[in-house]
Amino acid sequence: MDATLNQYQKHNLHLLLRASLKKSNPLEAIERVNIDPALFADIFLRAEQNREVRYEDLERFSHLCCWVIRWRASQLPEVDYNRTYAGQTDLLLNDLSKNVVKS
């Protein structure tokens, strides 16, 4: 499956990563899941918003993105630090496409 994130999805990925990595070291995280550091910086720091995020990149990010419990508008989402989207990349892609409200 080949998909590229649009600007809205990349912004949501940025917010989700910020919430997910609040309790961990981002440098250790990118090394652990083998994400291109430049891509990670562009998404996490919003350094370059035009960089492509392909489905295979999203699969790597899924290991870092904690499961969304509640997410409204552009606020940082509330996440479950015990669960990630690893192995559920399609669900992550879906959640990045909309404002998720879960309970």
In angstroms, what CA-CA distances link 102 with 9, 41, 68, 73? 18, 28, 7, 13
Q: Tell me the range of 21-30, 40-49, 56-65, 74-83 where mean pLDDT is highest.
A: 56-65
Is residue 103 very low, low, confident or very high in pLDDT (cuts 50, 70, 90)? very low
Residue 27, domain member (yes or no): yes
Residue 25, domain member (yes or no): yes
Residue 45, domain member (yes or no): yes
Residue 33, domain member (yes or no): yes
Residue 101, domain member (yes or no): no
Domain that holds residue 25: 7-96
Residue 39, domain member (yes or no): yes
β-bridge partners, 54: 4
CB-side neighbour CA atoms (13 Å) of 27:
0
What's the pTM value of the predicted model, to 2 decimals?
A: 0.88
Question: What is the tally of structural domains in the chain?
Answer: 1
